[in-house]
Amino acid sequence: MVLILVLVCLAALGFLLLRPRGALRAEIWLDGVLVETVDLSALTEEREISVGEHVTVLAAPGKVRVKHSDCPDKLCEHMGWSSSPAKPLICLPNRVTVTVTGVGDERDAVLR
Measured CA to CA, the distance from residue 20 to residue 36 in angstroms comes to 24
Confidence at residue 23, expressed as pLDDT on a 0 to 100 scale = 80
Lowest mean per-residue pLDDT among 11-20, 25-34, 38-47, 52-61: 11-20
Confidence at residue 38, expressed as pLDDT on a 0 to 100 scale = 93
**Cα–Cα nearest to 51, from 77, 31, 25:** 31
pLDDT at 107 over 90: no
Q: Choose the CATH number for 22-101 among 2.60.320.10, 1.10.10.1100, 2.40.50.140, 3.40.50.1010.
A: 2.60.320.10
Sorted by where each begins, the domain ranges of the chain are: 22-101
Measured CA to CA, the distance from residue 14 to residue 81 in angstroms comes to 32
pTM passes above 0.85: no
- When pLDDT is averaged across residues 29-50 and rounded to a whole number, the result is 92
- When pLDDT is averaged across residues 13-37 and rounded to a whole number, the result is 78
Which stretch of DSSP H or E encloses residue 106? Answer: none
